Structure 1
Amino acid sequence: MAYLSEEVQFGLFGLVQLYLNNILSENVKVEYSKLEKDLISAIKNNQFEHWRLLSQLY
């Protein structure tokens, strides 16, 4: 992620949002780590910069 251009990262962010919305709509029960919960929150709240920084830790 860190080596991709910001343009590509932003495009990936949009794809991740679509994918996450699809997964969450299936009501699958999954245990998430703190980092994963923070990533999901950033995606749900359309916080690209926050997601970008967190994704470098993952």
Structure 2
Amino acid sequence: MTRLDKPIRREVEIEGKLYTLAIDPQGLKLTEKGRRNGLNLNWSDLASGDAALAAALQASTAAS
């Protein structure tokens, strides 16, 4: 298995909008193309089952 030691960036289309997915050793980040802020998810949150809670908290603070 190849170790994840540097960021990987990929473009993905979701419902007609372009997004950038960045995967690095700390976690992943999904950002709308051309924007700086996006959804961050740490690997530890995903592994512990807290991913849904972390995503909901980020969404609620972004809407404020």
Normalised TM-score (structure 1): 0.31
- Bigger strand share: 2
Q: With a CA cutoff of 8 Å and minimum separation of 6, indicate the structure with the bigger relative contact order.
A: 1
Q: Which has the larger radius of gyration?
A: 2
Normalised TM-score (structure 2): 0.29
